[in-house]
């Protein structure tokens, strides 16, 4: 299939492009490089021996989108482009609503006008808010998000649902990711956050590589087995493969569908520290800090719907996730500048 991947030089996008090219799809990336690096395209080519198309452009620019869709008849779009820093979204809500929502509206309009009505969207477990129950199934009600970033995901899901209701020619797959970590086994592409990382695994790897002194563990009085927050960490390559499987669903004319992409297994912050140390032999010093506002006790998926309907199941375990995150960080202590 001919696939347009928005946000394809980013963390999850780049891994997905690798899996798409490996499966023989034709891929064009559209990315404005606001949170990624064009050198990712070279690395993807080095891994797959195929160079994806690349357009340096913005989803908020309707002319660029129209040109892309008139130049090539894409079979589907995988839509990763968006801003994702939770804290920044609280400081700059309009920037988030503008980029994520206005950008997505533009994309959907251009797709519809040009006859491409198949889309896979990067949603998040954040739409469940404080989950009504765990493990979380897709039937779990959506909740109150604690930040504008989360609301953009929740609202875009609604926009795509309403679009499908208005016109059944659309095929929409909403993928709710749990916590992606890890990196391609080559150690040549991976997560490359700007500034001090907000998320656990990049913080851990930057402590391991000596860029940061120690990990702050946000709270040890949660209602979990050791008091630290529990999440469903999923290897980014498993997540990427989930998108390839979802494409077959789109191709079959699936209408609107929603899937959790997680492993079904929860690990606490201290479980991650322990597994990282065991997988890599590198010690992670840590201190207990107060809870981070907005965090919840535990969040993990029931991924059985994706297994049943997409034939997809996460295969990579927590040690492999830690080892692969570390290989990427160790080989590229300063990200793509190395
Ligand atoms: P990322 O920041 O690495 O990738 C996003 C990419 O989108 C970047 O390359 C960025 O340059 C690009 N981009 C942003 N705004 C754009 C615009 N207006 N036009 C064109 N390109 C634009 O993030 P990621 O971790 O790869 O996440 C990909 C998607 O998955 C995002 O939508 C994110 O919200 C979602 N998601 C991520 C996580 C996670 O923990 N990483 C969890 C759930 C959902
Ligand atoms: N944590 C620490 N110290 C840190 C960073 C995180 O103890 O330095 C803890 C958190 O308190 C939490 C766990 O590690 O218990 C995971 O935190 P992350 O920030 O890595 O991930 P979150 O589950 O908070 O959020 C992530 C993404 C969101 C997304 C959400 C659900 O950042 O964008 O998963 O998909 F919405």
- Residue from 5, 9, 10, 36 whose mutation best tests the ligand 1 pocket (most atoms within 8 A of CB): 10
Average pLDDT of each block of 10 consecutive residues along the chain (338 residues)? Answer: 98 98 98 97 98 98 98 98 96 98 98 98 98 98 96 98 98 98 98 94 98 98 98 99 96 94 98 98 98 95 98 98 98 91
Q: If you take atom 6 of ligand 1, which residue's CA is the nearest one?
A: 7
Is the CB–ligand 2 distance for residue 286 below 6 Å? no
Q: What pLDDT sits at residue 160?
A: 98
Is the CB–ligand 2 distance for residue 231 below 6 Å? yes
Q: If you take atom 36 of ligand 2, which residue's CA is the nearest one?
A: 126
Q: 49-75 burial, b for 16+ CB within 10 Å, e for fewer? A: ebebbbbebbbbeeebbeebbeeeebb
Pairing state between β 118-124 and 76-79: parallel
Under a CB-based contact definition with an 8 Å cutoff, are residues 328 and 183 in contact? yes
Q: What pLDDT sits at residue 171?
A: 98
Distance between CA atoms of residues 323 and 329, nearest Å? 10
Q: How far is the CA of 276 from the centre of ligand 2 (A)?
A: 16
Largest CA distance in the chain: 56
Is the CB–ligand 2 distance for residue 198 below 6 Å? yes
Distance between CA atoms of residues 137 and 197, nearest Å? 29
Which ligand 2 atom is nearest residue 177's CA? 35
- List the one residue out of 319, 312, 299 whose CA is nearest residue 239: 312
- Residue from 30, 34, 105 whose mutation best tests the ligand 1 pocket (most atoms within 8 A of CB): 34
Which ligand 1 atom is nearest residue 192's CA? 3
Q: What pLDDT sits at residue 217?
A: 98
- Residue from 62, 82, 145, 259 whose mutation best tests the ligand 1 pocket (most atoms within 8 A of CB): 82
The closest ligand to the CA of 84 turns out to be 1
Whether the model pTM is above 0.95? yes
How many Cβ atoms from other residues are within 10 Å of residue 205's Cβ? 28
Q: If you take atom 29 of ligand 2, which residue's CA is the nearest one?
A: 126
Q: What pLDDT sits at residue 338?
A: 74
As annotated, the active-site residues are 149
Q: If you take atom 1 of ligand 2, which residue's CA is the nearest one?
A: 200
Q: What pLDDT sits at residue 337?
A: 87
Query: Count of H helices and E strands in the chain?
Result: 12, 14
The closest ligand to the CA of 85 turns out to be 2
Q: How far is the CA of 59 from the centre of ligand 1 (A)?
A: 12
Phi and psi at 174, nearest 5°, equal -100, 115
**How far is residue 100 from each of residues 1, 110, 165, 243, 322, measured CA to CA in Å?**
26, 15, 21, 20, 30
Which ligand 2 atom is nearest residue 291's CA? 11
């Amino acid at each position: 299939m001919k696939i347009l991947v928005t946000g394809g030089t980013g963390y999850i996008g780049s891994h997905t492009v690798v899996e798409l090219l490996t499966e023989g799809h034709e891929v064009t990336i559209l990315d404005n490089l606001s949170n990624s690096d064009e050198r990712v395209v070279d690395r993807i080519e080095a891994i797959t021996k195929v160079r994806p198309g690349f357009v340096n452009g913005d989803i908020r620019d309707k002319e660029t989108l129209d040109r892309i869709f008139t130049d090539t008849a894409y079979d589907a779009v995988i839509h990763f482009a968006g801003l994702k820093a939770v804290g920044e979204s609280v400081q700059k809500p309009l920037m988030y609503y503008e980029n994520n929502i206005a950008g997505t509206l533009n994309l959907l309009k251009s797709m519809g006008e040009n006859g491409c009505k198949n889309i896979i969207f990067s949603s998040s477990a954040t739409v469940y808010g404080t989950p009504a129950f765990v493990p979380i199934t897709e039937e779990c009600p959506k909740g109150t998000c604690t930040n504008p970033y989360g609301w953009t995901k929740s609202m875009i899901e609604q926009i795509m649902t309403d679009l499908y209701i208005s016109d059944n020619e659309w095929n929409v797959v909403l993928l709710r990711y749990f916590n992606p970590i890890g990196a391609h086994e080559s150690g040549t592409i991976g997560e490359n956050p700007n500034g001090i990382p907000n998320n656990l695994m990049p913080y851990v790897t930057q402590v391991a590589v000596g860029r940061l002194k120690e990990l702050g563990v946000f709270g040890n009085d949660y209602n979990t087995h050791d008091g630290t927050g529990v999440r469903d960490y999923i290897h980014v390559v498993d997540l990427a493969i989930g998108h390839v499987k979802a494409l077959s669903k789109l191709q079959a004319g699936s209408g609107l569908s929603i899937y959790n992409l997680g492993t079904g297994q929860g690990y606490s912050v201290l479980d991650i520290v322990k597994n990282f140390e065991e997988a890599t032999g590198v010690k992670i010093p840590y201190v207990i800090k107060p809870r981070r506002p907005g965090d919840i006790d535990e969040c993990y998926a029931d991924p059985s719907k994706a297994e049943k309907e997409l034939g997809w199941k996460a295969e990579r375990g927590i040690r492999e996730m830690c080892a692969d995150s570390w290989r990427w960080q160790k080989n590229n202590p300063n990200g793509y500048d190395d």
